[in-house]
Amino acid sequence: MANSKKHIVIVGGGFAGINFVRSLGSNDAYQVTLVDINNYNFFPPLIYQVATAFIDSSNISSPFRKMFKKHKNFAFHLGKLLQINSDDNTIETDTGLLHYDYLVLAVGTETNYFGMDNVKKNAFPMKNITDALAIRNKILVNLEEYIQRVDDPHRDAYLNIVVAGGGPSGVEISGMIAELSERIVRKEYPELAGLTPKIHLVDAAPVLLGPMSKVAQQEAKEVLEKLGVEITLNVAVKDYQNDLVVLSDGKEILTKTLIWTSGVIARELPGLPAEKFGRGRRVLVDQFNTVQGYNNIFAIGDICLQTTDAGFPNGHPQLAQVAMQQGTLLAKNIVAKDRQGSLKPFSYWDKGSMAVIARYKAVADLPKFSFKGWFAWLTWLLIHLIPIASFRNKWKLLGNWIWSFYSANSGLRLIIRSERKRDAKEVRTNIEG
Ligand SMILES: Cc1cc2nc3c(=O)[nH]c(=O)nc-3n(C[C@H](O)[C@H](O)[C@H](O)COP(=O)(O)OP(=O)(O)OC[C@H]3O[C@@H](n4cnc5c(N)ncnc54)[C@H](O)[C@@H]3O)c2cc1C
Closest protein CA for atom 30 of ligand 1 = 108
50, 412 contact by CB (below 8 A): no
CA of 102 to the centre of ligand 1 (A): 22
* CA 80 to ligand 1: nearest atom: 42
Cα–Cα distance, 143 to 257 (Å, whole number)? 12
Q: Is the CB of 165 under 6 A from ligand 1?
A: no
Q: pLDDT per residue over 85-97, tens digit each?
A: 999 999 999 999 9
CA of 99 to the centre of ligand 1 (A): 25
How wide is the angle at C-alpha 141 spanned by C-alphas 140 and 143, nearest 5°?
70
18, 61 contact by CB (below 8 A): no
Average pLDDT, rounded, for the chain: 92
The torsion defined by the Cα of 20, 22, 25 and 30, in degrees rounded to 10, comes to 30
pLDDT surpassing 70 at residue 1: no
Q: Nearest CA to 261 among 105, 58, 430, 109? A: 109
Q: Is the CB of 104 under 6 A from ligand 1?
A: no
Q: Nearest CA to 237 among 118, 110, 109, 155? A: 118
Closest protein CA for atom 35 of ligand 1 = 12
In sequence order, the 6+-apart residues with CB closer than 8 A to the CB of 99 are: 7, 9, 88, 89, 90
Q: pLDDT per residue over 214-239, tens digit each?
A: 999 999 999 999 999 999 999 999 99
Domain residue ranges in the chain:
6-37+79-111+265-338, 117-262+359-407
Q: Nearest CA to 283 among 262, 258, 261, 303? A: 303
Tell me what pLDDT residue 387 has: 79
Tell me what pLDDT residue 4 has: 85
117-262+359-407: CATH architecture: 3-Layer(bba) Sandwich (3.50)
Q: Is the CB of 170 under 6 A from ligand 1?
A: no
Domains 6-37+79-111+265-338 and 117-262+359-407 belong to one CATH topology: yes
User: Does residue 360 or residue 223 have the better pLDDT?
Assistant: 223
Q: Can you tell me whether residue 202 is helix, strand or coil?
A: strand
Q: Is the CB of 131 under 6 A from ligand 1?
A: no
The count of other CB atoms within 10 Å of the CB of residue 261 is 27
Tell me what pLDDT residue 425 has: 47
Cα–Cα distance, 187 to 190 (Å, whole number)? 7
Confidence of residue 432 (pLDDT cuts 50, 70, 90): very low
Q: Nearest CA to 332 among 18, 11, 20? A: 20
Phi, psi (5° rounding) for residue 137? -55, -45
Q: Is the CB of 164 under 6 A from ligand 1?
A: no
State whether the Cα torsion 285-82-118-253 is positive or negative: positive
Tell me what pLDDT residue 400 has: 84
In this prediction the pTM is 0.93
24, 335 contact by CB (below 8 A): yes
Q: Nearest CA to 171 among 88, 87, 48, 264? A: 48
4, 91 contact by CB (below 8 A): no
Confidence of residue 430 (pLDDT cuts 50, 70, 90): very low
Phi, psi (5° rounding) for residue 355? -150, 140
State whether the Cα torsion 92-95-96-101 is positive or negative: negative
How wide is the angle at C-alpha 174 spanned by C-alphas 172 and 177, nearest 5°?
105
Tell me what pLDDT residue 420 has: 62
Question: What b/e readout covers 330-364, taking b as 16+ CB neighbours within 10 angstroms?
Answer: bbebbbeeeeeeeeeebebebeebbbbbbbebbbb
The class level of CATH for 6-37+79-111+265-338 reads alpha beta
Tell me what pLDDT residue 89 has: 98
Catalytic positions, please? 172
Tell me what pLDDT residue 3 has: 63
Angle between helices 129-148 and 424-432 in degrees, nearest 10: 140
Mean pLDDT across 272-296: 97
Long-range pairs of 221-227 with CB within 8 A, sequence gap ≥ 24: 223/175, 223/357, 223/358, 223/361, 224/171, 224/174, 224/175, 224/178, 224/357, 224/358, 227/175, 227/178, 227/179, 227/182, 227/358
- Residue 286's Cα: distance from chain center in Å? 26
Tell me what pLDDT residue 363 has: 92
Tell me what pLDDT residue 431 has: 42
Tell me what pLDDT residue 429 has: 45
Closest protein CA for atom 31 of ligand 1 = 14
The secondary structure element, H or E, covering residue 227 is none
Q: Can you tell me whether residue 281 is helix, strand or coil?
A: helix
Tell me what pLDDT residue 421 has: 54
Among 280-284, 328-332, 334-338, 377-381, which stretch is predicted with the lowest mean pLDDT? Answer: 377-381
Confidence of residue 193 (pLDDT cuts 50, 70, 90): confident
285, 299 contact by CB (below 8 A): yes
Q: pLDDT per residue over 242-261, tens digit each?
A: 999 999 999 999 999 999 99
Tell me what pLDDT residue 166 has: 97
Q: Nearest CA to 301 among 321, 287, 272, 274? A: 321
* CA 126 to ligand 1: nearest atom: 1
How wide is the angle at C-alpha 168 spanned by C-alphas 173 and 315, nearest 5°?
145
Closest protein CA for atom 39 of ligand 1 = 107
CA of 301 to the centre of ligand 1 (A): 8
CA of 398 to the centre of ligand 1 (A): 22
CA of 44 to the centre of ligand 1 (A): 6
The count of other CB atoms within 10 Å of the CB of residue 193 is 7
Tell me what pLDDT residue 426 has: 44
